[in-house]
């Protein structure tokens, strides 16, 4: 099932009064440093501290009464987990989240605080999909994927819908839109929405060097799956492959993908904190990292929409990053 602009508009209607319409903000210091006009979309201010609430709520609100009684199962390192947990609580249904045993403690605690049950798995040894399917089968629950679902993609696309309309209201034409890329739900949904409203806009996704599956896939012209042996600071972006539904969208809309190192991510976290006065998690700051490191070069004077996708970072890791220890 392909996702259309109409699907994203319908998702926006469902999310009205539930999700926060995050602002579009500018930093003169950042603009001057880069020689660009950067319009920042801080999804750090979204419910659960990340854009993931949008897709989760759009998926869960469409479940029927019987499905709501049996509940949902999701697998996630943290932001999708929190989005599903909060959406389930708001809609009065049980939620079970399968999380890696090394997920950030702040994300685990928040997921439980929203009322979800948590089951852990070993991300290097266990098959989280198979585990989730088994648990869902036992309960008769609905599995809620993190990105490879048309309703999830449409919900995430409301980020792009808002961004394009907010830029228009500022009288700004978007030359480029940048988002992080894990499985591709945010990038795909955002690109569909922005392309409908601003067909001339180009797109760039950014992923960690150790999880460059989307960049490899686009070069190969087919979905490539990594066999992860390394970790990244960007726990939210450690997907081993782009989604079956998301990848064709990235191909069709000619999304370019850059990669950044952990050191570049830590530099961007420091810059966001000291200059932008924003707390951004590693996976959420990769777009800014790519701009600061020159991995994405839009061209002098261009207008760039930049999505900072989440702010859920463990305090100890954040302290080390802004303290220059990473």
Active site amino acids: 52, 309
Give the tokens for residue 31.
């603009």
Phi, psi (deg, nearest 5) at residue 25: -125, 160
Name every residue whose Cβ is closer than 8 Å to that of residue 31 and which is 6 or more positions away in sequence: 37, 38
User: Is the alpha carbon torsion for 271, 272, 277, 283 positive or negative?
Assistant: negative
Distance CA 95, CA 249 (A): 30
CA-wise closest residue to 112 among 127, 95, 129: 95
* Tokens 């990594």, residue located: 226
Taking Cα atoms as reference points, which of 106, 111, 110, 109 lies closest to residue 96? Answer: 111
β pairing state of 176-180 and 202-208: parallel
Q: Which DSSP category does 107 fall into? A: H
* CA–CA gap between residue 288 and residue 160 (Å, rounded): 17
CA 93/CA 57 separation, integer angstroms: 12
Contact 255, 276 (CB under 8 A): no
């Amino acid at each position: 099932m392909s996702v259309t602009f109409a699907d994203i508009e319908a998702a926006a209607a469902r999310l009205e009064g539930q999700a926060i319409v995050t602002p579009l903000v500018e930093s003169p210091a950042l603009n001057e440093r880069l020689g660009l006009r950067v319009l920042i979309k801080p999804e750090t201010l979204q419910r659960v501290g990340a854009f993931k609430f949008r897709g989760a709520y759009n998926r869960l609100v469409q479940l029927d009464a019987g499905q709501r009684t049996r509940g949902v199962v999701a697998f996630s390192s943290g932001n999708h987990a929190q989005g599903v947990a909060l959406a389930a609580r708001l809609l009065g249904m049980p939620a079970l989240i399968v999380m890696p045993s090394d997920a950030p403690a702040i994300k685990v605690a928040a997921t439980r605080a929203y009322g979800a049950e948590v089951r852990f798995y070993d991300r290097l040894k266990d098959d989280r999909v198979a585990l989730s399917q088994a648990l869902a089968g036992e309960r008769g629950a609905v599995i809620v994927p993190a990105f490879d679902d048309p309703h999830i993609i449409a919900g995430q696309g409301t980020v792009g819908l808002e961004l394009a309309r907010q830029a228009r209201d500022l009288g700004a034409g978007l030359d480029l839109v940048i988002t992080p890329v894990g499985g591709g739900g945010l990038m795909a949904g955002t690109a569909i929405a922005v392309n409908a409203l601003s067909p001339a806009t180009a797109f760039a996704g950014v992923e960690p060097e150790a999880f460059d599956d989307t960049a490899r896939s686009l070069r190969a012209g087919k979905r490539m799956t990594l066999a992860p042996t390394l970790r990244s600071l960007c726990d939210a972006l450690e997907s081993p492959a782009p989604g079956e539904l998301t990848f064709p969208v990235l191909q069709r809309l000619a999304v370019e993908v850059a990669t950044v190192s952990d050191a570049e991510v830590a530099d961007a976290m420091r810059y966001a904190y000291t200059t932008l006065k924003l707390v951004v998690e590693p996976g959420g700051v990769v777009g800014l990292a790519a701009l600061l490191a020159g991995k994405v070069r839009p061209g002098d004077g261009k207008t760039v929409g930049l999505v900072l996708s989440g702010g859920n970072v463990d305090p100890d890791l954040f302290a080390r990053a802004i303290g220059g220890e990473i």
